Amino acid sequence: MNPTKRTAKWTFLAGITAGLLIVLPLTQAIYSKQKNSYTIIKDKFEVMTQILNFVNQLYYDEVDMEALMNGAFHGIMEQLDPHSIFISAEDIKSIDENFRGEFQGIGIEFDILNNYITVISPVIGGPSEKAGIQAGDWIIEIDGESARGIKRDDVYKKLRGKKGTRVDLKIGRIGVDPFEVTIIRDDIPLYSVRASVMLDNRTGYVWLTRFSTKSGPEVRQAISKLLGRGMKRMVLDLRNNSGGILEQAVAVANIFIAEKDTLVYTRGKNKEAEQVFIAAPQKGNENFSVIILINRGSASASEIVAGAIQDLDRGLVVGETSFGKGLVQRQAGLRDGSAVRVTIAQYYTPSGRLIQRPFKNGDYADYYRELYEENREEKLDSLKKLRPPFTTRGGRTVYGGGGITPDIYIPWDLDITAATRKIMTNPNRPLFNWGAAFVRNNLGISDDYWDFQHSWNLPADALDKFLAYTKEEGLEIDIEETMQNRAYLETMIKSEIAGAKWGRDELWGIRITADNQVMNAIKHFNKANAFLAENE
């Protein structure tokens, strides 16, 4: 072995040992109430040092000691619960950025299509939108260098940058010659509200995809906008929202509660982990009915919101039984830039429900496999008698220990052929490309989205032309099989046209009409409205 490498390894090991010796007095204080814990920690540290020595001296090949130790740290956290994790320094930046909810750059949602960075949508209010960038544009050059064949990771490196810095782009656009534009980078928000739109003259829809630092204000702003457009009832879509920041879950739940009620509370080993979150009446609005839409991917903060709405009889919860995550984590940074996310408490809904699903420490295969069982809802329903019952404010029975069970079960149902699925999942996004070109070639489309949404129909030959386009692009599909989903595909095409002309909200305002869970949920507003009458 190279002496320099051996010295470096021993320096690394010495650093670990020194760090452990510093930590030992602290751990002694922390575990003073638990007999033998400090002795166990001390003994096991010595064993770990022995293992590292043996590996360093005897293993036949070079060892990446950092990867080895990271593996050990992962193993430690896996023995706690499914949601306590070790995060390497390499991963911590992107995770923090995701929760912080913003970064700095030019502000586009993009994909790599036909070897070029193609703009799916400019971020509303961002630098690219201000510079006139449109959906369907593609970037030919970045700072004078060709962008053809660029890798996704390099896109981030070249287009993101410090606020105030410039980037020179050459833009391609259908129907015009390539042109140059200079964009000054700025703060770009990562929105957690994916869409907010009126579905008809009284029904609003808000799709919340995560709980980041700005989710509460985002949802409040979206609801305010929809109320200004005449909303009398709304659907809050929390499907596949895996959660996020506890305080933002409370902020979102508070929007719907105008009385001084408990929204959620936490219990942990240490007193500082125990909190009770009470709604501030002045921040709530109970003047419209609400349906919360959840599925098996709705977890943590999503379940806090759904649980509060259900327990306080503020609205109706529909969809599928949620994930079942009732644990609260705190992230703590470590000296090398890595971090641990440790479960510090369990959270309880207003009625007293702990919604965490059972798990076996260190063996989480069944914990996650259960989510994908086709008969999951039937199985959970059969186990209700084994789960602890609780009572909502209005006297309804709800159950703990297994996620949030919806008041109305509506399974996801998307019956499309393999040929149609091939179109929808094609990485070159033919629907987007054709829709953007259609808008540019049909300038007579009404500028009134409401008229477009409710009165405008695709030309009779539009689907045939789209399928001909997919053939020209080399996408081999069974046309006869595809035509079995004619209505669905026409809705998807219309949604892409709306997205290209107006933006993300309007795209989803059209696309939702093909979403069976949303459209069936709306049929149950009579029950959601009843909660308003009961609370008056």
Selection from 264, 296, 306 nearest residue 407 by Cα = 306
441: enclosing H helix or E strand: helix 430-441
Distance CA 294, CA 412 (A): 11
Concerning whether 311 is annotated as a catalytic residue, the answer is yes
Determine the Cα–Cα distance for residues 313 and 534; give it in Å rounded to an integer.
Answer: 9
Listed in sequence order, the residues at least 6 apart from 493 whose beta carbon sits closer than 8 Å to its beta carbon are 431, 434, 435, 438, 458, 462, 463, 466
Exposed (0-12), middle (13-18) or buried (19+): which is 34, by Cβ within 10 Å?
exposed
Structure tokens at 455: 């009165």
Task: Identify which of 234, 160, 228 has the alpha carbon closest to the alpha carbon of residue 195.
Answer: 234
The amino acid sitting at 157 is K
Name the 3-class secondary structure at 29.
Answer: helix
**Helix residue spans in 179-245 (DSSP H):** 215-228
Counting DSSP H helices and E strands in the chain, the numbers are 20, 21
Determine how β-strand 316-319 pairs with β-strand 408-409.
Answer: parallel
Q: Report in angstroms the alpha-carbon separations of 20 from 14, 17, 88.
A: 10, 5, 18
Tell me, what amino acid is at 163?
A: K
In the residue annotation, 448 being an active-site residue is answered as no
CA distance 333 to 16: 16
Out of 325, 407, 495, 501, pick the active-site residue.
325
- Let me know if 225 is a catalytic residue: no
Q: How many CB atoms lie within 10 A of CB 145?
A: 10
Q: Which of 300, 322, 338, 495 is catalytic?
A: 300
Looking at this protein, which amino acid is placed at residue 207? W
DSSP β-bridge partners for residue 103:
188
Q: Provide CB contacts within 8 A for 262, sequence distance 6+.
A: 276, 277, 278, 279, 350
Catalytic-role residue among 311, 407, 505, 515: 311
User: Would you name the residues annotated as active-site residues?
Assistant: 300, 311, 325
